[in-house]
Structure 1
Amino acid sequence: MKYNLFLITSPLQLINAIEAKAHFKLTLNILVVIFTEHESKNKNQISRLINEDEWDKVIRFDQRLKNSKTTFLRQIKLVRLLQKESYNMLFCGDFSSINKMIIANVQKKKVYLMDDGAVTINRYLNELGVRYSDQKIPLKKKVRQWRFNLFGLKTIPTDTINMFTSYELTPHGNEEIVRNELKYFKETFLAQAMIDNTVYFLGQPLSEIHVIKRETYLEYIQAIRNYYDTKIVYIPHRAEHVIDDIIAMEDERFKVVYTDLPIELEFIMTNRYPMQIGSFFSSALFTLNIIYPEATIIAFEIEHDKMITPRPAIDNVYNYMAKSTSIKKVPLGSL
């Protein structure tokens, strides 16, 4: 008896895992949830999405502990546990060190990378084009890998990495690219959806991650407010920790609304069909563009001279939007 193995670290990865399970009509499925972020909202969102009855086994692994020695031994224990089974298909949403070690050490027939938002585009362009064995590894990382080698564990997978993705990607070699059209979610939840003409703007932690300065972010939000001529609901990203300055902008036409669910599921679970969605380059724009094809979705393009440092990865995302999606790109410099 062979299982299918799903490794996830974020709510979006879990959504895509559920979709993959339905798309490939898989039975006997093990879900491994790896908590990596030091903030509770990510964990709470994942926990709300998990229906234990839909999985044959759910394994939770908390990698947020500060004791590196304890984490090291617990990682070995997790890999040993997963080695007790063999798998038909293995799905993961990223190539963290623990995921790569699991891929390298369990028996499986196929490996699929699922979408992890817009980072998937850059990961595919830059990381998957080079075999792991050919990548240069810093000495400090090599030393960490040698510790696992001493326990008989490999740290570098040699498998072909196939894709289960919503993005239009061209194969590098002999990998399989399977299009994720979110069919399960659309067929299951959209039949009763009601049209909603409110503008939903998805916030991003751009000042927190030092893409742009805070004052620039606030100037952009004000410009976007002026761009729309109807009510706007600003939905903060879970990593936006201080938004008092955004809340201070509230009036009859601009409201800040928090959600405990990933925005894709917030609309689905409340039976809304949003007709207007905006953000900068949020990963959710791609997913929402597939789920709600009738919606007008706008990506407001950040000016290069306003970025703290050049970000080619952000350019890749905007370029992909313009080339391969119906998302409208609006340069913020033109507002």
Structure 2
Amino acid sequence: MNLFFVTTPLQYICAKEAKMYYQTLGNILVVKVSNNESERVGSQQLIDLIDDSDWDEVIYIRRSLTIPFVINKIRKNYPVVDGFFVSDYVGWYASVFLKNLSFNRYIYIDDGVMTVFQYNSHIKNQLMEVKEKKLYNLWLRVNGLKSIKFVGGHGNVEIFTMFDIDSNIHTVNRNRFSILRGMMSHNIYDGSAPVAFIGDGGVSDATIPESEYMDALNELSANNKGIVYFPHRTESASLTEKVLSVNNLSYYTPSSPIEMEVIKKSLKFSKVLGFGSTALYTLSILDEALPVEFIKINAENYYTKRLAELKLHFERQFNSDAN
């Protein structure tokens, strides 16, 4: 039996790709659905993507307190899990499953661009960090499970990723989105189509200053015939109001992740721009002819330094894949 644990739409897309790539048999999908209002859109997109017929069993976790019952049910029916597929190397929920299940293989699947950061900061050196939840730990022990104080530090991990990660420590297999590319019936790139701007979830004084964010949008508006703006699913109402005031901009609210939206609606773009969205990677894989551009931020802080790191990684990967 193979267990797949997902919490976001992209994780689910990557889980399906992993299931096909590894040709797994006996597949159980565990879905952690967030009840936070800020994640409502993403949770609904995740639920809408899931086709129960693709899995032997689908288990939804809507309340964290039910996690012990799910794990104990799995342990009772499957003393040893063949493959455990999960994102977020230092995630608390993932660590609860990892510590309380016996498994033969642990396969890390993408959680967007976090893969690049988590590989460099934790996976490569098998680092741990403290993430203790005392009340939850008490609840785990009451239900016969091991509690969690440290997350990460897993040595025996394979990586299934869209990113070009060079490692002589871990087995790395590339996710080329075979399922998504098999669904494509058109080319995304069209030189006469509008520019696509992928919104970012990190707009604040401590990350991407709103003033720089809006300056970038206004500059694009002045220099292009048309912009299709895709908001991040956590975008604030106040930012939306300002974005809507930009000239020459079409505000597109997708009903599904942008990768699925592009396929289902046969969307075309002359270029895709953003500050560091995972969609810059995924769309470039779906259509290698599509120009992709990372927008530079002048502000210097931890977040923008990571975006700069991401830009360099993309340029290296793009050049590598082209050769």
1:10 aligned to 8, 16, 19, which one? 8
Q: Return the offset for 1:109.
A: 1.3
User: Take 1:310 and 1:9, find their aligned partners in 2: how far apart are those partners?
Assistant: 23
Q: Return the offset for 1:159.
A: 5.2
Aligned residue number for residue 103 of structure 1: 98
| Structure 1 residue identity aligned to 2:11 | Q
Aligned residue number for residue 55 of structure 2: 55
| Structure 2 residue identity aligned to 1:190 | M
Contact 1:31 1:59 in 2 (8 A): yes
Aligned residue number for residue 24 of structure 1: 22
| Structure 2 residue identity aligned to 1:87 | V
Aligned residue number for residue 44 of structure 1: 44
Aligned residue number for residue 321 of structure 1: 314
Q: Answer yes or no: is 1:298 the counterpart of 2:293.
A: yes
Q: Return the offset for 1:54.
A: 0.9
Q: Answer yes or no: is 1:221 the counterpart of 2:217.
A: yes
Q: Answer yes or no: is 1:247 the counterpart of 2:247.
A: no
1:126 aligned to 121, 124, 128, which one? 121
Contact 1:164 1:178 in 2 (8 A): yes
Q: Answer yes or no: is 1:164 the counterpart of 2:157.
A: no
Q: Return the offset for 1:168.
A: 1.0
Q: Structure 1's 29 and 9: CA in aligned 2 closer, same or farther, altered over 3 A?
A: same
| Structure 2 residue identity aligned to 1:214 | E
Q: Structure 1's 36 and 307: CA in aligned 2 closer, same or farther, altered over 3 A?
A: farther
Q: Structure 1's 195 and 324: CA in aligned 2 closer, same or farther, altered over 3 A?
A: closer
Q: Answer yes or no: is 1:236 the counterpart of 2:231.
A: yes
Aligned residue number for residue 68 of structure 1: none
User: Take 1:302 and 1:168, find their aligned partners in 2: how far apart are those partners?
Assistant: 24
| Structure 2 residue identity aligned to 1:221 | L
Q: Answer yes or no: is 1:117 the counterpart of 2:112.
A: yes
User: Take 2:26 and 2:145, find their aligned partners in 1: how far apart are those partners?
Assistant: 28
User: Take 2:259 and 2:124, find their aligned partners in 1: how far apart are those partners?
Assistant: 30
Q: Structure 1's 76 and 89: CA in aligned 2 closer, same or farther, altered over 3 A?
A: same
More strand by share: 1
Q: Answer yes or no: is 1:92 the counterpart of 2:90.
A: no
Q: Structure 1's 249 and 113: CA in aligned 2 closer, same or farther, altered over 3 A?
A: same
User: Take 2:20 and 2:162, find their aligned partners in 1: how far apart are those partners?
Assistant: 15
Q: Return the offset for 1:198.
A: 2.1
How far does the alpha carbon of each residue in 1:215-271 deviate from its partner, in whole angstroms, 9 at most, with x for none? Answer: 2221121122234x3221111111112211110114xx3211111111011001123
User: Take 1:104 and 1:230, find their aligned partners in 2: how far apart are those partners?
Assistant: 54
Aligned residue number for residue 34 of structure 1: 32
Q: Return the offset for 1:205.
A: 2.7
Aligned residue number for residue 333 of structure 1: none
Using the size of structure 1 for normalisation, the TM-score is: 0.83
Q: Structure 1's 326 and 62: CA in aligned 2 closer, same or farther, altered over 3 A?
A: farther
Question: Which residues of structure 2 form unaligned runs of 5+?
Answer: none
Overall identity of the aligned pairs, in %:
22
Contact 1:280 1:299 in 2 (8 A): yes
| Structure 1 residue identity aligned to 2:196 | Y
149-158 or 269-278: bigger deviation: 149-158
Question: Which residues of structure 1 form unaligned runs of 5+?
Answer: 64-70, 328-335
Q: Structure 1's 314 and 144: CA in aligned 2 closer, same or farther, altered over 3 A?
A: farther
Contact 1:33 1:58 in 2 (8 A): yes
Aligned residue number for residue 194 of structure 2: 198
Contact 2:188 2:290 in 1 (8 A): no
Q: Secondary structure at the match of 2:295?
A: strand
Q: Structure 1's 326 and 12: CA in aligned 2 closer, same or farther, altered over 3 A?
A: farther
Contact 1:121 1:317 in 2 (8 A): yes
Q: Structure 1's 194 and 213: CA in aligned 2 closer, same or farther, altered over 3 A?
A: closer
User: Take 1:61 and 1:209, find their aligned partners in 2: how far apart are those partners?
Assistant: 34
How far does the alpha carbon of each residue in 1:275-300 deviate from its partner, in whole angstroms, 9 at most, with x for none? Answer: 42111111111111111111111111
Across the aligned residues of Structure 1 and Structure 2, the Cα RMSD in angstroms comes to: 2.5
Q: Secondary structure at the match of 1:77?
A: helix
| Structure 1 residue identity aligned to 2:312 | N
Q: Return the offset for 1:207.
A: 2.1
User: Take 1:6 and 1:182, find their aligned partners in 2: how far apart are those partners?
Assistant: 17
Q: Any residues of structure 2 matched to 1:276-287 within 5 Å, and which?
A: 276-287=271-282
